[in-house]
Amino acid sequence: MKLSIIMPVYNEINTIATIIAKVRAVPLNITVWGGADQEEALTLEREIVVVDDGSTDGTRDYLDTLRAIPNITIVFHEVNQGKGAGVQTGLRHATGDVLLIQDADLEYDPRDYPALLLPILEKRTKVVYGSRFRGGPTKAMFFWHMLGNRFLTFVTNLLYNTILTDMETCYKVFTREVANKLALKAKGWGFDPEITAQILLHKYRIYEVPISYNGREFEEGKKISWKDGLTVLWTLIRYRLRGR
């Protein structure tokens, strides 16, 4: 079984080498419950698909040096389009049985991969989200960001009859079957609500696991603003009104 790690990147020269090293280093030897109530050790293949979204800070030059490394695919967008566009390009190039979205800014820790993958490998679900609000170790978030996240997640639960705690998490993991049913269009911050709405409208239930989170400051490159929250809200409402 192969895991495809899709990594959209934009102007992350200060973190890109570290995050790729961490993704390559994390063990993918996972013990699962197999048939006849016996444990089974699985070793997953690893594929990293990095999509640079028009970086101008030297990130592209660094990524060019990685092209000869096995199991790393580098794709360049000529102009900046947004995270959603990066994920869409990554999905088109990924060949894995399970797909995982990884940001490049070091807020999310690849050492959480085994916990994220286990429910899928044990066939308990086909979609897993890593939640920053289920008790994992976290660096304190900005209050208004936390409040906005909780509100948008509440709207998601209300509109789609679910009980998520963290709709906007980076860590979204799903099988190839789920990926093949997605018709993603949002190029920017509408990506998270769009993929969540489509997953839920296709009647897949989302399994959440606690993850660690090391949120960065605005001076370190944090990009989200209150205007992005309006995009998220409208995307949730629009998909609920029109269905799939």
DSSP string, 39-94: EEEEE-EEEEEEEEES--SSHHHHHHTTTTSTTEEEEEESS---HHHHHHHHHHH-
Question: Residue 182, class by beta-carbon neighbours within 10 Å (0-12 exposed, 13-18 middle, 19+ buried)?
Answer: middle
Q: What is the pLDDT of residues 78-93, one digit of tens each?
A: 999 999 999 999 999 9
What percent of the chain lies above the pLDDT cut of 70? 92
Quick one: DSSP state of residue 138?
Answer: B
Which pLDDT value is given to residue 244?
59
**Predicted confidence band at 226 (pLDDT cuts at 50, 70, 90)?**
low
User: Mean pLDDT: which of 126-140, 157-171, 222-236 is highest?
Assistant: 157-171
**Predicted confidence band at 138 (pLDDT cuts at 50, 70, 90)?**
confident
Considering the chain, what is the average pLDDT of its residues? Answer: 92
2-242 maps to CATH 3.40.50.300: no
User: CB within 8 A of 18, min separation 6: which ones?
Assistant: 106
Does the predicted model carry a pTM greater than 0.75?
Answer: yes
In the chain, domain spans = 2-242
Please tell me the distance from the alpha carbon of residue 129 to that of residue 137, in angstroms, as a whole number: 16
Q: What is the pLDDT of residues 2-37, one digit of tens each?
A: 999 999 999 999 999 999 999 999 999 999 987 667
Structure tokens at 217: 């400051």
